[in-house]
Chains A and B, each alone.
Chain A
Amino acid sequence: MGASNIARGQIVKGISYLVLELSFIFYLIWRGIDDLAGLATLGTKEQEMVYNEAKGIYEVVKGDNSMIMLLLGITAIFVVAFFAIVWKANLKSAIAAQEYKASGKKVPGIIDDIRSLFDSNLHKLLLSIPIIGLIITTVLPLFYMILMAFTNYNMTHQPPGKLFTWVGLENFRIMLMSADKLGYTFWRIFEWTLIWAVMATFSNYFLGMFLAILINSKGIKGKGFWRTIFVISVAVPSFVTLLVIRIMMNDHGALNILLMELGFTSKSIPFFTNPDIARITVILVNLWIGIPHTMLITTGILVNIPSELYESARIDGAGPVKSFLHITMPYMIFITTPYLITNFIFNINNFNAIYFLTGGGPSTLEYFKGAGKTDLLVTWLYRLTVESWDYCYAATIGIVIFLISAAGSLIVYRKSASYRKEEEFSNG
């Protein structure tokens, strides 16, 4: 590799290709082949206790660590894929160099290459850091977790003590199609996640928009003042608000004490301990957090609706309700569809709102390992990883969440105006 570039005068480029190739071969021999083989088996030697006669004690003999092997195996795959890309680039640049030579033009040197990064190849320069970051912190870990869904890496198979191995689609079968407690829990939590996401997204959207319209309506003076009042609550970090509200609405919290002191109720309301009330509470509290946010975002769009539309509607005799239904709503929905989708996905994954408020509780014995009635799939995923180390089930849930979000939104998003008509804004 690289010989062709060197022969045609691109010394630096040629040498770097050569170095890359050599280091790749070195990597393969040193680690890569073993790692790839390990990926297939995930370890064969289990850690065991062996009696050491000389010392007269049991000693731990290290076995294979399935988890490290899985991770290294995936890294090896990525290195191979990276090398394939380099190899392809090498071929391309060799051909290009040859063509330059053949047509009698000057072959671009390293300085020209660097200069092109700021001009015709600017996209390569600008995307390099984002892509490297993505691969290390997102793509690689994701592959790892996706593969984990096809293993039996649960509480009883914890490395380094135990091995885990490939089980194919077994986790999906248990989770989605069996009458097992795990399956039962999954469907109940799945139901609640969807209800929550729909309720949280749409209630916030419409009420937030209502607030924005109210503040922007003609008769209201001091718009900045009113907006600021609501912005204050957006500005407080959400974990602070949620923790504060959790304390306030506790069984012996300030809200209950206040309600009793004022005589609204004779005993404290179980905001977080009764399953049904807890579900209503989290939706309401989420409104408290979400409405100002939506208000802020929709305000900008509302201000930009062309006022001629309203004028002509008024001349045609449309009242405020009619012009809202036929001008404001369609316009807003048109512009905010991507926002609505991202918000829906955000709510499916709204870890903070649930974890800080209820911690998923009230937990119930009907569910797998004490999952709670307000647990969303994500908080359940978190508890499965952090509390009970059932990584394979957590990974399975992660994939299911992905499928839900992907299925709906990719279709809608690709159909939405801002994706299809991206050219029209700037050209029109």
Chain B
Amino acid sequence: MDKKTTTLNQRYCNFIPLSGLLLTLSIFLPFFKVKDSQISKSMLKLFVMFADDRALFEKSRMLQIIILLMASSVVFVLAASVFCMLCRKRISALLSLTAFLFASLSAVVILFTVTSAVNASGLIEGKFLVRFLGSGYWSYFILSFTGLVFSMLTCRISPGYIVLTVLSVIWLVPIAWIVMISFRAEPGSYTSYFFPKKFTLDNYITLLTDNSQFHYVKWFINTTIVAAASCLLTSIIVLSTSYTLSRLRFKGRKRFMDILLVLGMFPGFMSMIAVYYILKGLGITQSLLALIMVYSGGAAMKYYIAKGFFDTIPKSLDEAAYIDGATKWYVFTRITIPLSKPIIMYTLLEAFMIPWADYIFASVIMGDKYENYTLALGLFLMLDRANIATWYTRFAAGAVLVSIPIAILFIALQKYYSASLTGSVKG
């Protein structure tokens, strides 16, 4: 055997021409079928019509493209399959890979464009719907992907890429959409079309400069102050609690852990009304300070992840230091903390995100004091029935701006995020 074929996975090799030939057969099945008007056309019929009389399709360029796509992909796949049967070399596997990739991409493109294409062409009366697509299209669709999977397997490329690509699209589309809306020139919440007609930067400019109704910049500063302060306070509380519970031994330690666990099981904002009156008693409602207190006050209850991390730091380090006469404070600040970078990052990040995105506590505490609002409250306000018509696209701009700092932080720190759950010292 020569070197090239050894890299191929021969097990799946036979399936490539099989799916290719089946795919070719699908051109005889009905491509679309309209029940009401009894119109049924197979791909072959469309090819013949197209070759026969191009004027029939003059109205819809898209339909011409679709037919060309289908015809070329079927020919391409057929050729690749035959080639694959004749010679089992890497080149033929790669060729069929491209052919099936082309076919499956065309299948997806067709799925999303066929409606407007057929509607424009005037081939059928009334509106076309995707469910009119017949067995011919669907077998073309499925077989092109099956062929793609088999070609990938043969070339020892993981078919997982297909799944990942599809998932990425699902996860990126809403994000891309909101970014797109934030640049849309037409105001209003609902348009009868999906893609904006005109793009502009005005939404961002108005959002940042027009303070007559909403104080976006002020809110942004408020949120940053609250998030930063409570992030610091929360982290100090979480780290000292979890260190104490992990490393120091004292009477009532287990009981204290149980109490914290029990307290954490009450729904957090069950007590918000009482918190509100306590803050009122202290005279600090509707202030940022109150928010900071609320976000970091109960932080001790979130001790367990950090405690799990501290548990994995070898005790021998502490003991060695004690023998040298170090105090417990010294061990905590000079030995444990420097070893705990991942968990510190994780705690900081989590502590920053919670106030950044909280709605309930902020809404109860701030009431109607608009200038002390945080971003979550403010953005929710923009979608109010009274504001949505004018503020919809600006909301989108605001949402994009809110997400950018967190996204940067998150992507930069993500390695700590997963490392923090696995312990400090490997092996």
Report A's interface with B, CB cutoff 8 A: 67-68, 71, 118-120, 122-123, 125-127, 129-131, 133-134, 136-142, 144-145, 211, 214-215, 217-220, 226-241, 243-245, 247-248, 250, 252-254, 257-258, 261-266, 288, 292, 296-297, 299-301, 303-304, 338-339, 342, 345, 349, 351-352, 355-356, 378, 381-382, 385-386, 391, 394-395, 398, 401-402, 405-406, 409-410, 413, 418, 422, 425-427
Whether a CB of chain A sits under 8 angstroms from the CB of B128 is yes
Contacts A227-B414, A351-B269: A136 and B278 contacting too (C-beta < 8 A)?
yes
Residues of chain A within 8 A (CB-CB) of B258 are: 410
Contact B263 A139 (CB under 8 A): yes
| Known contacts A133-B298, A236-B407: A409-B175 contact under CB 8 Å | no
A330 to B163, CA, bound (A): 25
7 residue pairs, one from A and one from B, having the closest CB atoms: A137-B297, A219-B158, A300-B418, A263-B115, A141-B271, A141-B274, A398-B270
Interface residues of B in 232-288 (CB under 8 A from A): 236-237, 240-241, 243-244, 246, 248, 250, 253, 256, 258, 260-275, 277-278, 281
Who on chain A is nearest to B403 by CB?
A236
Shortest beta-carbon distance, A126 to chain B, in Å? 4
Chain B positions within 8 Å of A355 at CB level: 359
Q: Which residues of B contact A252 (CB under 8 A)?
A: 190
Pick the contact of A237: B246, B270, B356, B411 (CB < 8 A): B356
Residue B353 lies at the interface, judged by CB distance under 8 Å to chain A: yes
What is the predominant secondary structure among interface residues of chain B facing chain A? helix
Task: State whether A426 touches B115 (Cβ < 8 A).
Answer: no
Tell whether, in the assembled complex, residue B127 and residue A220 are in contact, meaning their CB atoms are under 8 Å apart.
no
**Complex: chain B residue closest to A352, CB-CB:** B359
Q: Are A220 and B158 in contact (CB under 8 A)?
A: yes
Is there a chain A Cβ closer than 8 Å to B406's Cβ? Answer: yes
Evaluate whether A232 and B313 lie within 8 angstroms (CB atoms) in the complex, with A134-B297, A238-B357, A301-B422 already known.
no
B192 contacts the other chain (CB 8 A): yes
Q: Tell whether, in the assembled complex, residue B300 and residue A130 are in contact, meaning their CB atoms are under 8 Å apart.
A: yes
Known: A127-B256, A137-B278, A297-B417. 13 other contacts (CB 8 A): A142-B270, A215-B164, A229-B168, A235-B408, A236-B407, A240-B357, A243-B380, A257-B194, A292-B171, A352-B359, A410-B262, A413-B261, A418-B308
Q: Name B359's closest neighbour in chain A (CB-CB).
A: A239
Main secondary structure of the interface of A (DSSP, over half): helix
Q: How long is the Cα–Cα vector from A422 to B281 in the complex, in angstroms?
A: 42
Partner pick for A232 among B129, B175, B315, B379, CB 8 A cutoff:
B175
The CA of A129 and the CA of B234, in the complex, are separated in Å by: 11
State in angstroms the CA–CA spacing of A181 and B360 once bound together.
27
| Residues 116-135 of chain B, each 1 if its beta carbon lies under 8 Å from chain A, else 0 | 10010000000111100000
B269 touching A253, Cβ below 8 Å: no
Q: Which of A71, A235, A239 contacts B376 (CB 8 A)?
A: A239
B127 close to A402 (CB less than 8 A): no
Contact B193 A217, beta carbon cutoff 8 Å:
no
CB of B270 within 8 A of CB of A145, answer yes
> B340: shortest Cβ distance to chain A, in Å?
14
